[in-house]
């Protein structure tokens, strides 16, 4: 009797996890597509870097609103508002790279590389079923160090440090894809809106910093 109850509970848990995974990947694909549209609109409008900075700051404020409303129906609206602004803030940066020799090719390479990293790591986490929760502390420390170094480099403007930071952030975000996907698989994250935000930010940062590295190599 007890074993039957345990088996039913296990099946129920697996169904719930699969539901969260399905909803997360569906919402992630929709928000990424929406970001691509708003980025395109931003490029066409020729928005300034100052406008992009303002949108980024507003986006960070919306991040708290999304998390607060993640358990409500309004959470869907707020996540699209957040990702739409994040996408639009990329406009000036994309226009800068698009104006470079082979600029369109660079952007496509960054998109392709980001997709490859995401699908490879997510696929590995999903098929291996490994628990990557042990990486949480290390990744958080790495992220804090990267943020501090990034702020410092605003004043020092050291090109080598900028490259090292981009490479480090790509590695950290790659680790976070494993970590966040693992949390969903093992029931550590049961809210698909919060799960989507985490994976979206991982993908977003990988794309931005991969494009930066490719742009520098193109200059050389």
User: What is the token pair recorded at 87?
Assistant: 């996408």
The backbone torsions φ and ψ at residue 48, rounded to the nearest 5 degrees and listed phi first, read -80, 165
The pTM (predicted TM-score) of the whole model is 0.91
Rounded distance between C-alpha atoms, residue 7 and residue 5, angstroms: 5
12 versus 57: the higher-pLDDT residue is 57
Would the pLDDT of 62 be above 70? yes
Minimum mean pLDDT range among 10-14, 79-83, 119-123: 10-14
User: What is the token pair recorded at 121?
Assistant: 């790591």
> In whole angstroms, how far apart are CA 84 and each of 129, 210, 215?
32, 21, 24
Would the pLDDT of 132 be above 80? yes
Rounded distance between C-alpha atoms, residue 107 and residue 98, angstroms: 7
Q: What is the pLDDT of residue 11?
A: 59
Task: Report the chain's mean pLDDT, rounded to a whole number.
Answer: 89
Rounded distance between C-alpha atoms, residue 29 and residue 215, angstroms: 26
Domain layout of the chain by residue ranges: 2-219
Would the pLDDT of 61 be above 90? yes
Q: What is the pLDDT of residue 217?
A: 82
How many other C-beta atoms can be found within 10 angstroms of the C-beta atom of residue 212? Answer: 20
Q: What is the pLDDT of residue 129?
A: 87
Rounded distance between C-alpha atoms, residue 42 and residue 51, angstroms: 10
Rounded distance between C-alpha atoms, residue 27 and residue 22, angstroms: 9
Would the pLDDT of 2 be above 80? no
pLDDT range class, residue 57, cuts 50, 70, 90: very high
User: What is the token pair recorded at 161?
Assistant: 């440090």
Would the pLDDT of 167 be above 90? yes
Query: pLDDT tens, 17-33?
Result: 888 899 999 999 999 99
């Amino acid at each position: 009797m007890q074993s039957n109850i345990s088996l039913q509970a296990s099946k129920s848990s697996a169904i719930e996890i699969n539901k969260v995974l399905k909803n997360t990947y569906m919402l992630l694909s929709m928000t990424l597509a929406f970001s691509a549209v708003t980025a395109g609109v931003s490029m066409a409008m020729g928005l300034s870097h100052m406008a992009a900075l303002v949108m980024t700051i507003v986006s960070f404020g919306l991040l708290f609103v999304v998390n607060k409303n993640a358990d409500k129906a309004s959470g869907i609206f707020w996540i699209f508002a957040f990702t739409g602004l994040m996408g639009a803030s990329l406009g000036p940066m994309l226009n800068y790279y698009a104006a470079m020799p082979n600029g369109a090719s660079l952007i496509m390479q960054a998109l392709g590389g980001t997709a490859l990293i995401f699908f490879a790591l997510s696929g590995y986490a999903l098929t291996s079923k490994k628990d990557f929760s042990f990486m949480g502390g290390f990744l958080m420390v790495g992220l804090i160090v990267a943020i501090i170094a990034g702020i410092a480099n605003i004043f020092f403007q050291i090109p080598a440090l900028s490259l090292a930071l981009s490479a480090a952030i790509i590695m950290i975000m790659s680790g976070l894809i494993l970590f966040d996907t693992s949390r969903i698989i093992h029931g550590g994250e049961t809210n698909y809106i919060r799960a989507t935000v985490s994976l979206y930010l991982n993908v977003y940062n990988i794309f931005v910093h991969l494009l930066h590295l490719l742009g520098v190599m193109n200059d050389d």
